């Protein structure tokens, strides 16, 4: 699992996982999904977390989910809250289905492509990013 945090271009090494779950927090802002990025576009599952907080942080959760679905070209999006057991069950079902497919040899990890251009904290020139192509 990877949290979107406030840096939507940061990614892990996709060669190290069988499936990626990318998590956005509603409290991070309703426009986050519209901003896109590798995790939003390419993860096996995008989770919009803490949907119960939407009214408290002025986020239209339905619009955030619609934006996320639009950015993912048909890949799954799950609106989630631990306070809504049905959403937790949907996540558990997704994980169980993925595990069953993997155990049966039917799940093939998909390389989501190259990392986004970025820089490292130790780089002397922070103004210019690079990729690992």
The tens digit of pLDDT for each residue in 83-100 reads 999 999 999 999 999 999
pLDDT for position 82: 95
Nearest Cα neighbor of 78 from 54, 106, 55, 44 is: 44
* Lowest-pLDDT range of 2-11, 24-33, 35-44, 107-116: 2-11
How far apart CA 30 and CA 57 sit, in angstroms, is 9
pTM for the model: 0.76
Q: Please give the Cα distance from 64 to 53 (Å, whole number).
A: 13
User: In this predicted structure, what is the pLDDT of residue 16?
Assistant: 73
Q: Mean pLDDT in the chain?
A: 82
Q: How far apart, in whole angstroms, are the C-alpha atoms of residue 27 and residue 58? A: 9
Contacts of 106 (CB under 8 A, 6+ apart): none
pLDDT at 39: 83
Distance CA 11, CA 48 (A): 18
Query: Which pLDDT belongs to residue 109?
Result: 78
């Amino acid at each position: 699992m990877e949290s979107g945090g406030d840096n939507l271009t940061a990614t892990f090494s996709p060669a190290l996982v069988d499936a990626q779950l990318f998590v956005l927090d509603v409290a991070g802002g309703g426009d986050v999904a519209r901003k896109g990025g590798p995790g939003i576009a390419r993860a096996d599952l995008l989770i919009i977390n803490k949907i119960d907080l939407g009214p408290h942080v002025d986020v239209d959760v339905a619009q955030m989910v619609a934006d996320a679905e639009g950015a993912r070209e048909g890949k799954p999006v799950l609106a989630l809250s631990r306070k809504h057991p049905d959403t937790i069950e949907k996540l558990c079902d997704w994980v169980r289905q993925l595990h069953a497919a993997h155990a049966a040899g039917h799940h093939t990890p998909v390389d989501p492509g190259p990392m986004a251009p970025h820089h490292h904290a130790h780089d002397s020139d922070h103004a210019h990013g690079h990729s690992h192509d």
